[in-house]
Amino acid sequence: MKAKALLLLLWLGIASAQQATVTPRDALCPVITLLRQIGVFVAIIMLSWAGISFMTSGNDPMKHKEAQNRLEYVFIGILILIMAFYIVAKMFAGVNVLSGGDCPWV
């Protein structure tokens, strides 16, 4: 069981063969990077879906309103995503949200 956990940590980049101690900042860096990438991917997909549904709504006021609401929700989600990463950057001073900061693999 310990071997599987160690392999998982090695795969995630949290543990390494040369590094004996792992600080919380080093352990969270790959998780933060992964969450940022997933968030950006989901935001792009949702923004595309909202735009396509807005363009194909035609003259139907219900579809138009639904697409407009979806577009508003996407922009709110993007703002929440940006604010969340800036809050994390303030908690762990030195983690640059835009470039990955001090993560050696970014």
Q: What is the pTM for the complete model shown?
A: 0.64
Q: 89 with 97: CB under 8 angstroms?
A: yes
The two structure tokens encoding residue 28: 């969270």
Backbone angles phi, psi at 96, to 5 degrees: -80, 120
pLDDT surpassing 70 at residue 99: no
Q: What is the pLDDT of residues 21-71, one digit of tens each?
A: 766 666 777 777 788 889 889 999 999 999 999 899 888 999 999 989 999
